Each structure stands twice: as structure tokens, then as C-alpha cells.
Amino acid sequence: MYSGRLHALLLLSWALLRSLAKKLFGAGPRGLALLEANYAADKLSSVTPAEREQAPERSACIACGKCDAGDGERMASSLGAYPGTMALMLAASRRSSGRTRAELSLDFVKIRSYFLIII
């Protein structure tokens, strides 16, 4: 049996050899193409220069959860469909497209509000 440190060293060595081989033989995308490939499943696109200028203003949120205050009953009644206001605020501070978790939350709020108006 070998120790955990030896196992970690072997894994790191293997990862280093793989990354060097990929660089030498040009396997797969690199640079910006690799970044875009990594985030393609999340449907994230690159930031425009105007959005980059707005980034400091949008980065003030530290995800403390204070904006979820009062959402407990709604979150519980949704059985996990509505993660709270904080998810909406965090999604608004990021660039994403498609049907995100925040959009699903908004759908829940719209549906819930609609039923409350009817009742």
C-alpha cells in the first residue's frame, strides 16, 4: 500500500504529463476557444466592452442571503422550485442566456402571483 501523498503526487504528475502532451501535439482547443468550450453547456457568452465597464457596479453583491428575508414560506411551498430572491439577484449580475434557474424562479413567482390574484 502506498500513502495518500504518493497517490496525490502520481495524480499531479499524470496531469502534468497530459497537459504537456496536449500542448506539444495540439490536441483540442486552447485559449479563448477552450474557455468558450468549457462554458458552452452553461450557455454563457463573452462579455462586451460596455458590460465590462459595468462589472464593478454589479459586483457589489456578496451573496449574503439578506434579500431572501421573508421568502421562507414561498420557498417551502414551492418544494424547491423557487430558490429565493438571492438567486434572481445573482442571475441578474451575470451574463447568461437560455432558460436559467432564475427564469424558472420567475416563472414560479408569476404562476404563484397569478393564483393569489384569482383566490
Pair 9, 52 in one domain: no
Pair 38, 93 in one domain: yes
Pair 22, 38 in one domain: no
Q: How confident is the model at residue 115 (pLDDT cuts 50, 70, 90)?
A: very low
Pair 22, 78 in one domain: no
Pair 65, 114 in one domain: yes
Q: What is the pLDDT of residue 92?
A: 64
Residues of the domain holding 8: 1-26
Residue 96 in this model has a pLDDT that exceeds 60: no
Pair 20, 73 in one domain: no
Q: What is the mean pLDDT of residues 84-93?
A: 73
Pair 58, 102 in one domain: yes
Q: How confident is the model at residue 70 (pLDDT cuts 50, 70, 90)?
A: confident
Pair 8, 48 in one domain: no
In terms of Cβ atoms closer than 10 Å to its own Cβ (0-12, 13-18, 19+), residue 96 is middle
